Amino acid sequence: MTTEVIPLTPAPPSLDEIAKRGLPVELSGRDGSNRAKNSVRQIEADTDIDAIHTWLAEYPPTSSTFRAYRKEAQRFYCWVIGIAGKPLSSLKREDLDAYRAFITNPPAEWCGRRNARKATGQWKPFEGPLSERSRAYAMTVLEGLFTYLTDVRYLDGNPFKAARYRRKAGPQPGKVPKHFPLHTFERLVSALQSECERLAGQGDAHIEAERMLFVVRFLANTGLRRFELAKARLGDMYPYRDEKAAATYWFLTVVGKGEKTEPVAINQAAVAALERYLRLLGLDRRHSDPATPIVIRLGHQGLQAALSEPLTNDAMYNLVKKALRTAARILEVEHPEDAVLIRKATPHWFRHTFTTLMSQNGHPLPVIQSQLRHASIATTAIYTHAEQNEMYRAVNSLKL
C-alpha cells in the first residue's frame, strides 16, 4: 500500500479515497498505542481502515444495517484522521467526548447535500448538525465497532468502557415518535389523489403521480420500512384462507433488518392501492411475473421493458420525499400547518403513523409488534400513551 500523505484539509476524504491513496505509517494504526500486542489477533487486518472493513464485512452488504454502519464509521474515521490527527487504535476516552461534541455542530466544510455521489467531488460526511437522537445512535454504532475490535484482539482495550454512552438511541419514554395525525394523513392522500386526477392521461407524469400515491398508501397501511417495500416483488404476496371466517387474507413476505424473512399482513386498503397502481401500468397482480417489483422503476422512456430491477433504498427515499413535497405544495394555501408538517416528514413517519393509529384503535401491542417485527415489545410500546392515559384516569378518579 502507498504511504502518500492525504492533506488534512477541511474537506475530508472518504473511506474509499483513504483506502485507495493510503496513509502515512503514523496514522495507519500499525503502531497504535491501543493495539493488542501480547495476544493472538483473530482477524488478518493490520491497519485501522482494514479493521473497519473487516467489521463491516460481518453484515450483508445490501442490508440497511451495513449502509447505516458504514456511514457512521466513515464519518468517524474522517474525523479521526482529519481532526484528531491520530490512529483510531490510539484513541482514548476523551477523544470520544471530542467527537460527540464535533457532530453536535460540524463545520460547514464538512456538510453537504444528502446522497451526493463521491465521484462528483461533492460528497461530505454530514448534512448538518446531528440531533440528540442521531448523536446517540452514532455513538452506539461506534461502541459496537470498538467492542468488536477489542473482542477480536485487534485493540487492547475499549475506550467506550469508560465513556458515558449507555443510553440507547431512540425516543424517550412518554415521547411518541413523529407521525401524522389522522386528519393530516387524510389530507395528504387527498392532495396526491387530486394530483393524479390533474395529470390523468399525461403519460409518465400520470404514472409518477399514481406511483407516489400508491407508495404513501401502502407504507401507511402496512407499517413497512421503505427498504422493505423497495425490495418487495409481486411473488412475495400470498393468500391465507381463514376457514372459520370464510375469508381470504393477504400477506407479504419481507426481508427485514438482519436479513430476516418474515410475513406482514396486507389489508384491503393496501391491496386496493396496489391494484389501482398496477391497473394503470397494464399489469395484473395475479398473472404478472412473480419477479416483478411491487414498486416499478420508471426510465427515461417511461415504464422499463424489463421489469426485474427493484428500486434502491435511496430511490425509494427520494420518491417518498417527492410525494411529500407535492402534497405540501397543494395544501400550503388552505392548510398551511399540515403543509409544514408534511414537508418536514420522512418516509419513516408512515411506520410511526401506522403504529400510533393501530394503538389508538385499541389493537393489542403484541399484535402490532408482530406486524412491525420489533424484537422487543418495549419498542412498540413507545408509540402509545396508553399507560399514561390509564395513570391519569386512575388518579383523576380520586376526589379528596
Q: Which CATH number is 265's domain given?
A: 1.10.443.10
Domain identity same for 85 and 222:
no
CA-nearest of 108, 104, 160 to 133 is 104
* pLDDT bucket at 6, cuts 50 / 70 / 90: very low
Between CA 210 and CA 119 the distance in angstroms is 33
Domain identity same for 31 and 111:
yes
> Per-residue b/e over 8-41, b at no fewer than 16 CB within 10 Å?
eeeebbebeebbeebbeeebbbeebebbbeeeee
Domain identity same for 125 and 222:
no
User: What cell numbers appear for 231 in the block?
Assistant: 425490495
Q: Is residue 206 part of a domain?
A: yes
Q: Half-sphere exposure of residue 233, counting CA atoms within 13 Å on the CB side?
A: 10
Residues 14-37: tens digit of each pLDDT: 666 666 667 788 899 999 999 998
Domain identity same for 26 and 135:
yes
Between CA 96 and CA 138 the distance in angstroms is 11
Domain identity same for 196 and 273:
yes
Q: Is the pTM of this model over 0.85?
A: no
Domain identity same for 105 and 206:
no
Domain identity same for 296 and 216:
yes
Residues 290-343: tens digit of each pLDDT: 888 999 887 644 455 446 678 888 889 999 999 999 999 999 999 999 999 999
Give the pLDDT score at 8.
37
Residue that is last in its domain, among 162, 195, 213: 162
* pLDDT bucket at 104, cuts 50 / 70 / 90: very high
Domain identity same for 63 and 192:
no
Domain with 194, as residue range(s), is: 182-349
Q: Is residue 368 part of a domain?
A: no
